[in-house]
Structure 1
């Protein structure tokens, strides 16, 4: 629960960090800038008795040169890759009916040509899902066998993605230290953890989904008190797991795409979003994108808690001290393009925003004015956002402690019931 506070403290102590730590961060950011994402959704898969595989490959002089990201396609048809931006790829999937890890003529197959990965660091890049439909007729002679191109690990690899997976908060991948690694090592998070939207129990069409989104350096376990005590008769509880060091437009777009995909899968009429700290920035942008792209407002209620709507000066400090800062700091600094876009873009018509902010007595000396130990009240209640809210409430709690209090929980549930 203290991860966000520790992240800010580290940020403020940047001049004291070891050169080794800074070098590791720089390498992460440089590698992130060199890679892009590709996600596919495969339909018309056989009944699941045989595996369907996906991979990306390059061509040279009409021949298959090398490949990356060989993976088993999820039962929901999703597969995702991290690939170098300096190449274009063919991306495909096939069902391996004879289990030989090669493609044999007549097996279900589909692929797309000339795929350019979407930059992982460009805030203007929006998530796209390539649609593949497996079919058997590809004009290959009977008996033709196509071996998989040789794997080239330098091209990139697999992005682990979850979409509606049922999971427990107790799993190691949701631990606070793992969430912290998503801040300082966002690229490693994409390959070693699992980005996406999780369910705490199987989907139930009779209950309203509530999506929880943590903040910078946070983890799903930040929401343990809420999830353990929330009204389960009325609501089903989901959470978003993401690397908080990535540019916020990118993780917002992933959240928006995931919410739309789950709605199209389960046909729920509405869902609500509850977010903490920087998660409020991620969520607001995601709600706007998801509703616009879906063409109907299926997210009518949004609650933010302790969100730095005016930005954070510590992010500005980090940017000044580092040639390659954590990418999300570029968006959290006061006056960033990301924040200016939030101010200029109202929430969708019909979406209400309830704002909760906190403060404590005797906050740290480096935060001027009233604060919650991490974020100033001035930022939490920035008028450019506050004026557009339906309600706002002040609670006397510290930045992360606020999520462990019955008072906060009861107020959030009361807001969602209105």
Structure 2
């Protein structure tokens, strides 16, 4: 057991490594945010209609101890007769309203079947272990008959605000150069994730209007990153075949919660636009987020709307320095704790098998050197973590580049290989339809 001085030293080494990975550091001033994150409340479960749904199921998390009326804080949509809902909020006392949205206006109208439910709050770790049909966890059943008396009534403007925020977060237009992707706001997402979320900065954004003739390419940045990390990739993207979508999330949240956000965003946009497939390209920790989102889809029994996943410099076995992140009194981002080797998140990440019809390409860099990563590394992540034998055996293609952890995203060789693999796999997918 290390003494106090040794504990403090390894603590600061872990913090320094995190700052290196995130390109900025303000851990001490963010301690209150981290503690709030530890106490955040998460609600998940199965929701279904008694008969075939005549519209999407809308699930609303509302705070009950507010005056003069209860206050809705989060809205999820299940675009089918049965599915899994995901809701999250700051510490408070909540209930859940679920209803069959027959007219599709995202507002509960008189006569639309619904149910009021006292959800069971779970830890954020529950994101990694979603409910099953046999678990009975928070199973909400919406009757097909007349709604029960006493269901909460929220004014239309309340629903409108939640729906508007959802539309802003899922599929709204964005530009790589805009302010929300600037370094100060990136750091806010890392060290003050609740503020980042409450200000409506996160989401899955389109850089141009949706085109049903082109395949979405979903770009997922790493810890302390933003869509600007993909600038060189986007510049060279073949826009005749592909359309770029960028996922922006507060990377200080637990990786599981970020995966839930990505899952919700993709599910919403597929419901809205009906795109048949997509390609996911993820850098660093973004690969862990993307795999977590895929796991949620598979565990829910849905068919993933993706045929090709490409990860770049992803720390599949974690980051050695994150092992010491919980030593000492100051909190660090939950995502950093999830990246400790052997963490619950990493241990469960590859338990769910990737379907054989989803192809996987693994990219890595070997051009860096760092004392924070053991053995050969890319300056941040060790080769051992980027290339575990289990992942290598499952990958359809593996490519290495003489680049470090950041420069690989601007490498012409990497981008050319990326484009080639995307076009080849798109051809395979098109032929198999």
> What is the TM-score with the length of structure 1 in the denominator?
0.74
| Residue 374 of structure 2 is aligned to residue 368 of structure 1 | yes
Aligned counterparts, 1:246-265, within 5 A: 246-265=253-272
Equivalent residue, structure 1, for 2:246: 239
Match for residue 381 of structure 1 among 384, 387, 393 = 387
* Displacement after TM superposition at 1:86 (Å): 4.5
Structure 2 CA distance for aligned equivalents of residues 261 and 166 of structure 1: 15
* Displacement after TM superposition at 1:33 (Å): 2.9
Paired residue secondary structure (1:386) = helix
* RMSD (Å) for aligned C-alpha atoms: 4.4
Equivalent residue, structure 2, for 1:196: 203
Paired residue secondary structure (2:300) = helix
Structure 1 CA distance for aligned equivalents of residues 282 and 18 of structure 2: 27
1:295/1:109 CA distance change after superposition, 3 Å: closer
| Residue 58 of structure 2 is aligned to residue 30 of structure 1 | no
Equivalent residue, structure 2, for 1:121: 124
1:117/1:200 CA distance change after superposition, 3 Å: farther
| 1:244-282 Cα distance to aligned partner (Å, 9 max, x none) | 111111211221222122222212111110000000111
Match for residue 405 of structure 1 among 402, 406, 411 = 411
Contact 1:59 1:65 in 2 (8 A): no
Contact 1:12 1:317 in 2 (8 A): no
Equivalent residue, structure 1, for 2:231: 224
Contact 1:278 1:308 in 2 (8 A): yes
Match for residue 336 of structure 1 among 343, 368, 387 = 343
1:185/1:108 CA distance change after superposition, 3 Å: farther
* Displacement after TM superposition at 1:118 (Å): 5.4
| 1:144-203 Cα distance to aligned partner (Å, 9 max, x none) | xx997xx9xxxxx99954111121112211223322221211111110133221111111
1:22/1:218 CA distance change after superposition, 3 Å: closer
Contact 2:17 2:372 in 1 (8 A): no
Structure 2 CA distance for aligned equivalents of residues 338 and 137 of structure 1: 40
| Residue 279 of structure 2 is aligned to residue 272 of structure 1 | yes
Structure 2 CA distance for aligned equivalents of residues 147 and 192 of structure 1: 23
| 1:63-120 Cα distance to aligned partner (Å, 9 max, x none) | x75544579999x9xxx98644441336599xxxxxxxxx9xx989987523537557
How many pairs are equivalent? 372
1:82/1:191 CA distance change after superposition, 3 Å: farther
Structure 2 CA distance for aligned equivalents of residues 147 and 344 of structure 1: 42
Structure 2 unmatched ranges of 5 or more: 1-11, 20-24, 48-53, 80-85, 100-106, 132-137, 425-433
Equivalent residue, structure 1, for 2:309: 302
Structure 2 CA distance for aligned equivalents of residues 66 and 107 of structure 1: 18
Higher mean alpha-carbon deviation, 107-116 vs 278-287, is at 107-116
Aligned counterparts, 1:278-297, within 5 A: 278-293=285-300, 295-297=302-304
Structure 2 CA distance for aligned equivalents of residues 73 and 122 of structure 1: 19
1:334/1:92 CA distance change after superposition, 3 Å: closer
Paired residue secondary structure (2:362) = strand
1:25/1:110 CA distance change after superposition, 3 Å: farther
Structure 2 CA distance for aligned equivalents of residues 274 and 139 of structure 1: 48
> What is the TM-score with the length of structure 2 in the denominator?
0.72
1:174/1:109 CA distance change after superposition, 3 Å: farther
* Displacement after TM superposition at 1:225 (Å): 1.1
